[in-house]
Amino acid sequence: MKIPTQASTQQMLRAHNADLADPDFWQLPRSERLKAFALLRGLDAPVLFEESGRRARRGGGGFYALVRHADVVEASRQPRQFASAPGVTTPEPAGWAKAVFGNSMVNLDGAEHANLRRIVSRAFTPRLLAAAEEDIRAVAGRVVDEMIAQRPGDFVPSVASRMPFEIICNLMGIPERYRPEIADRVDHASENVGVKRARLRVPGRGLRALAQMQLVMAKLARERRRRPTDDLISALVRADVDGQSLSARQLGAFFSLLLVAGVETTRNAIAHGLALLTAHPEQRELLVGDFERYADGAVDEIVRHSTPIIQFRRTVVADCAVGGRELRPGEKVVLFYASANRDEAVFADPDAFDITRDPNPHLGYGGGGPHYCLGAHLARQEMKALFHELLTRPRDLRAVGMPELVDSNFDNRVRALRFAFEPS
Ligand code: HEM
């Protein structure tokens, strides 16, 4: 097949409702969007999607969509060609947002990124996470105790959000008295009002919530400087980057990133997980029949199938080529994990939910390289512990109806999910 010209490709894509730069695309049912990605994967090279109006002025004139598994892996692992600065979200947040909130590590490159990541990754070593295993199981037990004590309603606030929130708070050492306030802030901070109105992933109300959350964090940081303990906040306030300690803004940016990145993603994976296990009773039976054998495969398959983070962006900084497309400095590429995870070149029957898939080289936590998800192991541990409790304690726990999704071009966010169980 010869490479179609950009103009004829655009026409064809519009005819198939596959214009990824059009906010209407992100309001289509998910199954339609996945069909569009399949169409794009079948083309010879990544296609340029041009943005219009304010989006174009902020985002700098569109992006090439990387939709194949191999292309997403390649861009993720070549940070000298594909930079995370000036930002990984599309369209770019306004400059004032960075000025107020500092630059989070997802948007940094090179030594600046590596230094910050080194400090925080101390809290995520397999050894420390193994030590946290008991705490994770205890939290899962408590969350399910409380779920059983209450009447079933919305699975998202009562179970799916609670588990990752408590774990991150324990890891960071946030005292109980601050938790209700922070939980409320996290919820608003990551509120997504839909792609049509949202210019930023964290619009007006969300930004206010983030600012308030950072005030709480600053207070805690001052306390830990005076009286350090063995938690992550103490480690960060003692940390030294290039001979300097982290600024208040760097600290705040990191706390917000961990709370939003660590809680939102996992919450969505857990909610999708319940919906998938309900829709596929034969897979659930397999899992319940031999939990230890199938649990690791199940949590990875949940993340592949649901892909909680749809995409992140990179900016080209050196002449290069990916997937047969030549790229110049300044051009943007968007890495669509949601499409790579359904790539038929890598996954047999990619739309099937199959907890026995082996290997399962999904890109739900990123395509590798320096920004690969810092919390991947923690997320796996949390999901395994929670699903163990959910599937073995109450009888017949199930989703009722489909998850209610938020229109978003960034995350596969579940707004609400009704559920039921027989307490036994
Ligand atoms: C199912 C749950 C999760 C999913 C699907 C997920 C997904 C991702 C993805 C796609 C990236 C970007 C990778 C890249 O650019 O190459 C990322 C980065 C990151 N994740 Fe996660 N994540 C999850 C859970 C967590 C948890 C529990 C934490 C923390 C406790 C966390 C912390 C981070 C951080 C700090 C980064 C930025 C790393 C960097 O820029 O160096 N994530 N995650």
Q: How many domains does the chain have?
A: 1
pLDDT at 60 over 70: no
pLDDT at 255 over 80: no
What mean pLDDT is reported for the chain?
87
- Rounded to whole angstroms, what are the CA distances from 181 to 65, 176, 184, 193? 39, 10, 5, 21
Q: How confident is the model at residue 57 (pLDDT cuts 50, 70, 90)?
A: low
Residue 197 belongs to domain with CATH number:
1.10.630.10
Tell me, yes or no, whether 195 lies in a domain. Answer: yes
8 A C-beta contact, residue 332 and residue 62: yes
Ligand 1 atom with minimal separation from the 84 CA: 15
Of all protein residues, the one whose alpha carbon is nearest to atom 40 of ligand 1 is 106
Q: How confident is the model at residue 201 (pLDDT cuts 50, 70, 90)?
A: very low
Give yes or no for residue 171 CB within 6 A of ligand 1: no
pLDDT, one tens digit per residue, over 282-311 is 999 999 999 999 999 999 999 999 999 999
Q: How far is the CA of 373 from the centre of ligand 1 (A)?
A: 3
Is pLDDT larger for residue 15 or for residue 420?
420
Q: How confident is the model at residue 378 (pLDDT cuts 50, 70, 90)?
A: very high
Considering the chain, what percentage of its residues have pLDDT values greater than 90? 57
Provide the domain limits for residue 396. 6-422
* CA-angle at 41, arms to 40 and 47, nearest 5°: 50
Give yes or no for residue 375 CB within 6 A of ligand 1: yes
pLDDT at 142 over 90: yes
Q: Rounded to whole angstroms, how far apart are CA atoms 137 and 210?
A: 29
Which residues contact residue 67 at a Cβ distance below 8 angstroms, ignoring those fewer than 6 apart? 37, 40, 41, 46, 336, 339, 340, 343
Residue 197 phi/psi, 5-degree rounding, is -90, -25
> Which among 368, 374, 376 is positioned nearest to 79, based on CA atoms?
368
* pLDDT for the residue 193: 40
Which residues contact residue 3 at a Cβ distance below 8 angstroms, ignoring those fewer than 6 apart? 44, 45, 324
Give yes or no for residue 309 CB within 6 A of ligand 1: yes
pLDDT at 402 over 80: yes
Give yes or no for residue 208 CB within 6 A of ligand 1: no
Tell me, yes or no, whether 167 lies in a domain. Answer: yes
Tell me, yes or no, whether 191 lies in a domain. Answer: yes
Give yes or no for residue 108 CB within 6 A of ligand 1: no
Considering only the C-alpha atoms of the chain, give the largest distance between any 2 of them, rounded to a whole number of Å. 67
- Rounded to whole angstroms, what are the CA distances from 4 to 9, 10, 323, 324, 336? 6, 10, 14, 13, 21
Count of Cβ atoms closer than 10 Å to residue 161 Cβ: 24
Give yes or no for residue 241 CB within 6 A of ligand 1: no
Which residues contact residue 282 at a Cβ distance below 8 angstroms, ignoring those fewer than 6 apart? none
Tell me, yes or no, whether 1 lies in a domain. Answer: no
Q: Rounded to whole angstroms, how far apart are CA atoms 147 and 155?
A: 9
Q: How confident is the model at residue 245 (pLDDT cuts 50, 70, 90)?
A: low
pLDDT at 58 over 70: no
pLDDT at 12 over 80: yes
**pTM recorded for the entire structure:** 0.92
Which residues contact residue 398 at a Cβ distance below 8 angstroms, ignoring those fewer than 6 apart? 274, 278, 419, 420, 421
* pLDDT for the residue 203: 40
Q: How far is the CA of 255 from the centre of ligand 1 (A)?
A: 14
Average pLDDT of 394-403?
A: 95
